[in-house]
Structure formats: structure tokens, C-alpha cells
Structure 1
Amino acid sequence: MKIKYVLLASSMMLSAASFAQKDELKTLKKLYAKEKLSVADISEYKSAVNKVSGMSGLAEPDQVYTNFYKGMTPLLELDGISGNSPADLQLMAKSLTPAKINELAKGLNGVLEYEKKTGKKVYTDDVNETIMSFKPMMVNYGIVLNQASKFKEAAQIFEAIYNLDPSDASNLYNASILAMQAQDFDGALKYLYELKKINYSGEGTNYYAVNKASGAEETFATDADRKQSIKLGLHEKPRDEKVPSKRGEIYKNIASILVHQGKVEEAKAAINDAKQANPGDTSLLLAEANIYLDAKDYVGYKRVITEVLAKDPNDADLLFNLGVISTTSGDLEEAKKYYKKAIEVNPNYFNAYNNLGALMLQGEDKMVKEMNSLGTTPKDNKRFEELKTKRNKMYSDALPYFEKALQIDPKEPNIKAILLNAYQVLDMDVKYKALKAQK
């Protein structure tokens, strides 16, 4: 009898809990259905969420929708804000923490999975609309954190946004870049390995058109959206922009972090895996070259880059990079050759002209130091004149490259400063005064 009594009592307790669960869930469903919640409604909603969340033994559907209502809680207070005022940003900082976005992701995606499994759409459309409506606000908040140099916090926000909408892996890519900026290399590796796992490339097309009312160029999610807007007379002047694959950069970043951590062989293995999975992807060869560069293996770097150039001999950036590596390894004549080849491919390659000019001035600082240390003896005077003549020759050789660089980018202050110094050294007063007078 005693055993039966205990079982009966337990059964009654479960039944009471079940009724309580149903009541709270009914309250949440009723409040959620409202177009706009008052302050009192929000308070009642939170109270019901707290009560039902603390109950055990929920059936699967009740647990799914409990998680849904709980996850939606922070968004109730954000409904209708613009996110531009300081008060809005403060509210977003409170409501859009990574933990809360992840809880939202769990609740919303749980509903999508459950309703797909059962074939009964209750909130599926609402969930998709919620993601579409609030994701831009979350992205903007991540951008605000980035602009405030809160890179790690921004990375965590973008990771949570990816968890909310895994179909858009660009947010996970953003998280990886921000984590690297924060020097959170363990976090960055986690994001990068996930990008590798899903074979994310980011390759695609950006669709632009000019807003007739504002005159500003705007982006569209799809070409169809843009065509519809143009058809309605809202936009004009369509323009496409190809987005190159980021796969090579992803593997390069994985490798760079591993090299930074002293795991060079792991870095090489990561690139080899990528090359096997994506044969013919030149960006992966560049990532491999970056491993050698980070490891200061300049011979290996040149070998891989030469392999890339064999496939595309007119890549000015690669030629320029070989010039930089040759300079670093002390082979200045080889560096000049690569910089000049880069200029042949791209006659307006500012950095190639700048670096060529700098090459011509290699050793000038030591020369000036020696000139300043000389005395006034006949021997010292002779040495001074020798050094002066040699220095003038260096500036004469460098001058055309710096002048061309300034012609390409007239607002570059460093080039202007170098040229002013060169004109003084070479006693070119007319050119000095003319450049000095330029604003």
C-alpha cells in the first residue's frame, strides 16, 4: 500500500507539473502572438519563461518551444529600435551578448529542426522572418565593436550570428579575421578549422545598383532582387563585382598561426590537405609560399612562387613579392629584376616604383653616418667628397622611380618627403621649391 501510495502521489505531482507547464506555455504563446508587447506584457513573458524553464520532465515539443520562447526574450526589448543612438547601443550591448545570441540560435534552430521533422509548421516562417529581421542589427553591432577595437568581443558576436544562421558562413569568416586581430589565435583556429570543414570559399558575385532617390550605390542579395528593383524604377546602373575565393587565405591563416605556434610541419600538412581537396587552386600555392615566408625559408618561398608564376607569368603582385623576398635575402640585383618586371606588367604599380627607389638608396644611412663622423684633415676631406659623389649617384638613380611614384599618387606624404630631401641633396632648387609649394 505504501509503495502504491508513493507512486500515486508522484503521479499526481507530475500531472500538476504538466498542467503548470501547459498554462505557462499557453501564456507565452498568447503573448508571442501579440503585434506589440507592453512593458507589463514583457514582464509577464519573462516570468512565464522563468517558470517553465525551471520545470523538469518536459515532453520534446514542450522543451523545443520552451527553448524557443526563452531564446526570443532578449529580442522583445530590441523590437523597434534603430541601433543608432547611444541608448540603443547600450541596450544592444546588454541584449546581444554572444551567450544570448547563442541561446537564441539554439531556440530558433531547434524549432526549425523539430517542425521539419514533424512536418507541422507552427513557427517556421516566424523564425525565418526573425533571423532576417534581426541579423542585420546583430551584424551592425559586431561592426560597432570592431570600430571600437573590441576585436575579440566582435569575433564572438559574429560566431554567434553564424550559429544563428549557418547558411551564411561569411560571419564565421569575419569572426576568424577579428580573432586574429585580437591575437586570439586559439579562437581564430577554431573558426578557421570550421571554415575548412565546411569547405567555405566565399566566392561569388556582389550585385550593385544606384538608388535613384539618393544617388548612392547599394548592394543586393541576389541578381533577381536587383532586377525587380530596377523594374520598379527604384534603381539604375547595375554593376557586378566578382568576389574571389577566400579559401587560400583561410588556409594561409591556419598555416600562419601554426607557424607562429612553432608547428611548421602541421602548417605544411594543412596546406597539402587543402591542395589535394582543391587541385588547381592557385591561392593555396600562395598560402604554401606564405608558410615558407613566415618560417623565413626564402629558398622554399621562391620555389613555390616560381611555380605559381609558371602558371601566370603576368601576375604583378607575385613579381613584386619576389622582389621583396629577394631584398630581404640580400639579393638586390634579383630584387630590381622582379620590381621592373612588375612594372612591365603594371606600369602604374606604385609600390614597385617606391621599392625600386628605396633599393637605390640601400646603405645611404651608413654613408651619412660616416660622412658626419669625418674630421677636416685632407684625408677626411677626400673621403667626404668620395662619399658625397657616391651618395649623389644613388639619389640620381632613385629619383626617376620616386618621381613616378608621386605622379601615380600625388597625395602620398612619404614620397613627397623623400623627393624634397633628394632635391636638396642634388641641389635641385627649382624642383625643390615647386614641390614644396604644392599642397
Structure 2
Amino acid sequence: MKSKYVILASALLISAATFAQKNEIKAAEKALKKGESKEAATILQSAESLISAASDAEKAQFFFVKGNVYLDLADKNIEADKNLSLAAAAYLDLIAAEKASGKSKYSSEAATSVTKIKYKLINSAISDSKADKHATSADKLYEAYMLDTKDTLNLYYAASTYVNANQYDKAMSMYNELKRLNYSGKATNYLAVNKLTLEEDLFNTVAERDRMVKMGTHEQPKNEVIPSKRGEIFKNMALILVESGKTEEAKKAVAEARQANPEDTSLILTEANLYLETKDFETYKKLVGEVLAKNPNDADLVFNLGVLSANAKKTAEAEKYYARAIEINPKYLNAYINMAALKLESENAIIEKMNKLGTSDKEMKQYDVLKAERKAIFKSVIPYLVKALEVDPKNEDVSKTLLGVYSALEMTAEKKALESKMN
């Protein structure tokens, strides 16, 4: 008989707890409707300890109200970051509870709020990243991804941002997830200029874009191809592994990626860069040859080979690739800029030599020779800087560099003409 009383007492306790919990959820809902979000949050906090014993349906209701309360607090700019994260976590708990129960009472209603939180998190992450708060930014991007796992772009950005935050374990975990999903990020943007705002609008489909152009609201339609991000993903994975002393694992990871995506030339560049990092120049050259054989007229690929060569201090090779990129695309701005920068780098060594010379006749002759070499370098970069300004007339960095070159060569007329264009 005694055991029956114990069972009965337990049942009464559970019933009372459930009743109290329901009352608190209702009280929190009423407080929220009155705009008293802080009070609603306090009420929910007192019910939190009881939620583990609740049914999936009751859990879903609790998490739905909790998400609404913390989102309202975030909207009112009350500890916005903290409450936005709490709202996001609550909605994820809601989705999990309804998935477990097999019923979807609140998920569809919460969808609008979930989308709102997602974009708030993304915008906040962008602000944090600009302020060099990379770890916080990455956390928010990952939260945004968890709210909408179909939007894998946020997982990609979260991983990249964790790299910037030097949190390599988290970055690696997300890169592995992107690898599992076979994420490439390759896409096409359908753009057209809005006649009212004079800004480019992005459309979901080419048909939608073309319809708006036909209606006359937009003009200048164009397609913008977003290249595959696999190369960068595996490059970062490889660099993290190399940093951890796992060079062979890095090589294996990139080789596997190439095997799974044989047409993705960005992965060949990644592998080439990896062998360049480990000073295996023969394999590097072999891989570079593969890239060029696949697509010799791809200006971006040729330019990237120039960057790899420049990083390896192979100046002549880098110049060759930059020149080829310009030949393929005469408006390739970065090729002109990098070519000029590459040539100007050699000036430092000349200045260093000049500074070490004394005032003897022999040394003064050497000084004159070096001075002539320096002058020749400045003259050699002028055509590239001028071309860069033709492509991008408002590029301040290029203008300032060209002004410096004109000053060094005492080209007063050219300097004044450029200054008048800048003002």
C-alpha cells in the first residue's frame, strides 16, 4: 500500500508542475502582448527548470514564446546580441521539439521570425567583422546557418571568419562539413540596373530578370558568374593542417578533393600552392602546367599563377603570367597593379645598396649606375599604372603611386596633369 501512495504522490507532483508551467507560459504571453518583454523573460526563466519533464508539444509552445520574447527584446535594442542569440536558440529548440513530436504547430508561424533573426545575425556579423571582432562575427554566421541549413553560404563564411579569428579547430570542423555537403558555392547572379534607383538589382532567376527588363523597370541585364569556392576551402584546410604539422594529411585532402572534382581548376591551384609552401618546386611546375593545359585563355587562372609565382619570389615567372593575363584581358586591373608592384619591389634592394656606398670616386660611379637602374624601374612601371587608371580612373592608390613615380623622375608636367584630374 505504501508504494501506491508514493506513485500517486509523484503523479500529483508532475501534474502540479505541468499546471504551473502552463500558467507561466500564459502569463509570459500576456506580458509580451502588453509590451513587457523583460517581465515575460523573467516569468519564462522561472519555468525553465520544469521544461525537461514537459511533453514535446508543451516544450514547443514554451520555446515558441521564449523565441518571441527574446526577439522582441533584441528588436528594442536591449542587449541585442545576447537576446538575438537566445531567440535563435529558442527557435532551434522549438523546431527540434516539433520534429520529435511529429506535429508542426508553431514552426510555420515561427518561420518569419527565424528569417528575420537570420538576417539580423548576418548584418550584425558583418558589423563585427568590420570592427575586427572575427570570433563573434563567426559565431553569429554559424547561428544564421543553423537557423537555415539550406543556406550553406553562411556556413562557408562562418568557417572563413573563424580562420580570421585564428580559431582553426572550429574552422576545420565547418570546412569538413562543407566537404561532406560537397559545397562549391558556384553560382550565377542575374543582374539588371533599376531605372528608378540606378542601382543593380539581383534576381532569383534569369526569367524573372528578363521579365522586369521587358516591362521597362530595368535595363542593362547581365549575368555574373560566381566561381567555385572549393579551391579556397581546401586551401584553408590544407594550410590549417600544414600549420599543425600535418603536411601529408593536407596533400591527401587536396588530392581527394581533386579526385571528386576533376574539372575544378581552383583545386589544382590549391594543390600547386601547397607544394609551393613545402618547396616542392618540381611538382608545383607540373601542376601549373596542368592548369594552363586545361584552360590557357582563362585570365583569372593565369593571374592566380602570377600571384603564386610572386609569392615564391619567382619574379620573371610572375611577370610572364601577369603579362599573359593582360594579353587575354586588356582591362584586367589587378594584373596591371600587380605588375607595377612587382617591378617596384626591386627598388628596395637598389636603395639599400645606394645607402651603403661612401663618397669615393669608385663608389660615386656605382651610385650613378644604381641611380640609373632605379630610374629605369620607375619608367618601366608608368605604362602599367597609366593603363590601370584607364581601367579604373578613380583608383586613389594607383593615382598616388603614379604621382610618386612622376615626382621621382621629375616629370612635373605629367604630375600636375594627374593632380588636376584627382581634384
Q: Normalising to structure 1: TM-score of the pair?
A: 0.80
Q: What is the aligned-residue RMSD (CA, Å)?
A: 3.7
Structure 2 residue 15 is the aligned partner of structure 1 residue 10: no
Match of 1:132 in 2: 115
Structure 2 residue 321 is the aligned partner of structure 1 residue 338: yes
Structure 2 residue 54 is the aligned partner of structure 1 residue 58: yes
Match of 1:248 in 2: 231
* Structure 1 segments unaligned to the other structure (5+ residues): 82-87
Closer, same or farther: CA 295–240 of 1 in aligned 2, 3 Å:
same
For 2:295, the aligned partner's letter is D
SS at match of 2:33: coil
Q: Indicate which of 59, 71, 76 corresponds to 1:75.
A: 71
Cα contact 1:158–1:172 (8 A) shared by 2? yes
Cα contact 2:138–2:158 (8 A) shared by 1? yes
How many residue pairs match? The answer is 421
For 1:175, the aligned partner's letter is A
Q: Which moved more, 1:58-67 or 1:262-271?
A: 58-67
Residue 259 of structure 1 and its aligned partner are, at CA, apart by 1.9
Match of 1:101 in 2: 88
SS at match of 1:54: helix
Residue 306 of structure 1 and its aligned partner are, at CA, apart by 1.9
Structure 2 residue 39 is the aligned partner of structure 1 residue 43: yes
Closer, same or farther: CA 426–278 of 1 in aligned 2, 3 Å:
closer
Closer, same or farther: CA 380–305 of 1 in aligned 2, 3 Å:
closer
Structure 2 residue 222 is the aligned partner of structure 1 residue 272: no
Residue 68 of structure 1 and its aligned partner are, at CA, apart by 4.3
Residue 284 of structure 1 and its aligned partner are, at CA, apart by 1.9
Q: Which moved more, 1:21-30 or 1:6-15?
A: 21-30
Match of 1:316 in 2: 299
Closer, same or farther: CA 280–74 of 1 in aligned 2, 3 Å:
same
* Structure 2 segments unaligned to the other structure (5+ residues): none
Residue 38 of structure 1 and its aligned partner are, at CA, apart by 1.0
SS at match of 1:96: helix
Residue 172 of structure 1 and its aligned partner are, at CA, apart by 1.4
Question: C-alpha distance in 2, partners of 1:410/1:340?
Answer: 21
Match of 2:140 in 1: 157
For 2:247, the aligned partner's letter is V
Q: Which moved more, 1:52-61 or 1:156-165?
A: 52-61
Q: Which moved more, 1:310-319 or 1:323-332?
A: 323-332
Residue 345 of structure 1 and its aligned partner are, at CA, apart by 0.7
Question: C-alpha distance in 2, partners of 1:282/1:404?
Answer: 29
Question: C-alpha distance in 1, partners of 2:218/2:397?
Answer: 40
Question: C-alpha distance in 2, partners of 1:378/1:390?
Answer: 19
Same amino acid, percent of matched pairs: 36
Residue 385 of structure 1 and its aligned partner are, at CA, apart by 3.6
Closer, same or farther: CA 235–124 of 1 in aligned 2, 3 Å:
farther
Structure 1 residues 375-421: Cα deviation after superposition (integer angstroms, max 9, x where no partner): 55443443344444444444444443343334334444454455445
Question: C-alpha distance in 2, partners of 1:128/1:421?
Answer: 56
Question: C-alpha distance in 2, partners of 1:383/1:45?
Answer: 79
Match of 2:130 in 1: 147
Cα contact 1:71–1:108 (8 A) shared by 2? no
SS at match of 1:206: strand
Alignment of 1:386-405 (within 5 A): 386-405=369-388
Structure 1 residues 36-78: Cα deviation after superposition (integer angstroms, max 9, x where no partner): 6114587357525633642654344444544444454412434
Residue 151 of structure 1 and its aligned partner are, at CA, apart by 1.3
Q: Which moved more, 1:319-328 or 1:233-242?
A: 233-242
For 1:15, the aligned partner's letter is L
Residue 312 of structure 1 and its aligned partner are, at CA, apart by 0.5
Question: C-alpha distance in 1, partners of 2:202/2:307?
Answer: 37
For 1:265, the aligned partner's letter is E
For 2:54, the aligned partner's letter is L
Cα contact 2:159–2:175 (8 A) shared by 1? yes
Cα contact 1:305–1:318 (8 A) shared by 2? no
Match of 1:84 in 2: none
Cα contact 1:170–1:202 (8 A) shared by 2? yes
Question: C-alpha distance in 2, partners of 1:103/1:166?
Answer: 16
Question: C-alpha distance in 2, partners of 1:266/1:57?
Answer: 46
For 1:28, the aligned partner's letter is I
Closer, same or farther: CA 417–385 of 1 in aligned 2, 3 Å:
same
Residue 242 of structure 1 and its aligned partner are, at CA, apart by 3.5
Question: C-alpha distance in 1, partners of 2:360/2:36?
Answer: 94
For 1:137, the aligned partner's letter is K
Q: Indicate which of 166, 170, 192 corresponds to 1:187.
A: 170
For 2:95, the aligned partner's letter is L
Q: In terms of Rg, which structure is larger? A: 1
Closer, same or farther: CA 94–382 of 1 in aligned 2, 3 Å:
closer
Residue 218 of structure 1 and its aligned partner are, at CA, apart by 3.8
Closer, same or farther: CA 411–22 of 1 in aligned 2, 3 Å:
same
SS at match of 1:7: helix
Closer, same or farther: CA 13–378 of 1 in aligned 2, 3 Å:
closer
Residue 154 of structure 1 and its aligned partner are, at CA, apart by 1.4
Match of 2:186 in 1: 203
Question: C-alpha distance in 2, partners of 1:348/1:91?
Answer: 48
